[in-house]
Structure 1
Amino acid sequence: MRSTFFYLFFLLIASSCGSSRSLVYFKDLEKSPNYTEEVKNKVNPKIQPDDLLSITVSSLNPESNVLFNNGVLQTIGGTSSGVATSRTNEGYLVDKDGGINFPVLGNVKLGGLTKEEATSKMVAEISKSVKNPIVNIKFINFRITVLGEVNRPSTFLVPSERVNLLEAIGLAGDLTAFGKRENVLIIRETNGIRSTSRINLTSKEALNSPSFYLQQNDVVYVEPAKIKSLQSGDSSFYIPLVSLGISVITALIFLTK
């Protein structure tokens, strides 16, 4: 009788934890271990307002290099010294119209272009003054934010300028057991328009989602499961009391037999 009581008590505790949930990513891949598919949803990030760009120029002319990279040359005795005046090293901030203020060239519109397209445009503009320039452009503030049911929610700088949803979740220490893998929210702002999309990480179709590859300033939000909401709500105070009451009643029934 006592063993039966403990068995029922264990079932009671287990049932109070809520229905079971799958914590497996891409569980529909279990039937196809050799799954292969062409990647068609990878996109290059486009330059947007408030992006911070690092732009360096190299050429065979040392004076032009200093001029384009620093803005102004100091002169001593009527000759260029090759030393630039101080300039902030924070990069070039893209304004609301997509333009940057670049030495010699003035305002250059790069908004809406990929990094490769912007590099080609800068090379074409600088080539009017310097022969065969080499231009390198990098995003300084390429960042993504991961919030919700993850182990380390935070904003992360991405030096590689390319990150997918799984990598972002990895940076945040993976989802907790309460994270809803089937309904991950992506918040994105492009050209002044905010959009949202949802991805089901329990299905392999997530790999083909247009939002699987993140863009700069994307926000990833992982919703909590219902059981977490119950635990954190006002009703959670009564759940242990109800369970305790049921346990006591069950024990009394068995002991009186």
Structure 2
Amino acid sequence: MKLFTLQRPSCLAYLSIVVLMMLVSSCKTKKDIVYFQNVKDFETIVDTDMFEPKFKVNDIVSIYVSTYNLEATKPFNLVKNTGSTGQEIDYLIDSEGNIDYPVLGKIKLIGLTVEEAKQLIKEKLSKDYLKDPVINIRILNFRITVSGEVNAPGVYSVSGERITILEALGLAGDLTIKGRRDNVLVVRDFAGTKTYTRVDLTSRELFNSPVYYLTQNDFIYVEPNNSAISGASGDSRIGTIISITSFILTTALIFVTRN
């Protein structure tokens, strides 16, 4: 007398459920990975953001003054000797937001845009020293950091005066398939105050975000999605699933053969 009988359909049904669970757990939908899903065909989005970066503490600034009288500008374009050539001196914005500029002394730049800083220095020079000076200013340490689930995390220097979050992610090789696209974090520091802003790359509302244009030394973090978190032990899980599946198949074959 047999205590129980395992029928072929029940074994196959059980095995099918296990395989189905494996497929569902590893499945990713289009909604998880496609950017700007709510943008319509031929839709026009007008960029009304006249964003300009503002100077921060610890910014390194290059300032060059020119006029028709080159001799008169020399006191304002100091150079340091580096062998046979001279290199222009850069200026560090100190903890109080100032630079120490030749002749003019302390100039507060923190919170100003490049254009505002140009106008400020031009006014100071025109008042007592130079006629119709032209001021060129550049931020030399404009860089951003991209970390987390991107293909090439790192610190990236920016040659211009502004960069979008999309361009920054492009520099980092874009998000990996395991990166969460709907909750990207941007950490921004200004005068010791940090702000934390999250953006959704799958929505067109990204273009209206205050962090769509990045500022110098912004930090971007792409957190892992659920599949990445569960995949932290993925190899062992896959091995376990394979072992269980093999066991079920072997057991099913044994019982089917006996019956």
TM-score (norm 2): 0.83
Distance 2:57 2:87 in 1: 19
Q: Percent identity?
A: 38
- Preserved CA contact (<8 Å) 2:125 2:133: yes
- Preserved CA contact (<8 Å) 1:150 1:174: yes
Deviations 1:140-190 (A, max 9, x none): 001110000001101111011110010000000000000000000000011
**1:12 shift after superposition:** 5.4
Distance 1:89 1:71 in 2: 4
Gapped runs of 5+ residues in structure 1? 73-85
**1:228 shift after superposition:** 1.1
Q: Which amino acid is the alignment partner of residue 24 of structure 2? A: S
Superposed counterparts of 1:85-234, under 5 Å: 89=88, 91-127=90-126, 128-233=128-233
Question: Of the candidates 32, 35, 52, which is equivalent to residue 43 of structure 2?
Answer: 35
Q: Which residue of 1 aligns with 2:65?
A: 57
**1:231 shift after superposition:** 2.0
Q: Which residue of 1 aligns with 2:3?
A: none
Residues 17 and 250 of structure 1, relative CA distance in 2, 3 Å threshold: same
1:15 matched to 2:13: no
Q: Which residue of 2 aligns with 1:244?
A: 242
Q: Which amino acid is the alignment partner of residue 61 of structure 1? A: N
- Preserved CA contact (<8 Å) 1:71 1:103: no
- Preserved CA contact (<8 Å) 1:146 1:153: yes
User: Any runs of at least 4 consecutive aligned residues in structure 1 with deviations exceeding 6 A, and if so which?
Assistant: none
Q: Which residue of 1 aligns with 2:36?
A: 26
**1:245 shift after superposition:** 3.5
Gapped runs of 5+ residues in structure 2? 1-7
TM-score (norm 1): 0.84
**1:14 shift after superposition:** 2.5
Residues 36 and 26 of structure 1, relative CA distance in 2, 3 Å threshold: same
Distance 1:237 1:132 in 2: 69
Count of residues in correspondence between the two structures: 237
Deviations 1:39-87 (A, max 9, x none): 2334211111100111000012222222210179xxxxxxxxxxxxx97
Distance 1:90 1:177 in 2: 45
Distance 1:170 1:98 in 2: 32
**1:240 shift after superposition:** 2.5
- Preserved CA contact (<8 Å) 2:78 2:88: no
Distance 1:24 1:42 in 2: 28
Distance 2:129 2:211 in 1: 41
- Preserved CA contact (<8 Å) 2:34 2:202: yes
Distance 2:68 2:89 in 1: 25
Deviations 1:83-108 (A, max 9, x none): xxx97645110111111111111111
Q: Which residue of 2 aligns with 1:77?
A: none
Distance 1:59 1:231 in 2: 63
- Preserved CA contact (<8 Å) 2:165 2:214: yes
Distance 2:50 2:218 in 1: 15
Q: Which moved more, 1:40-49 or 1:12-21?
A: 12-21
**1:230 shift after superposition:** 1.8
- Preserved CA contact (<8 Å) 2:79 2:89: no
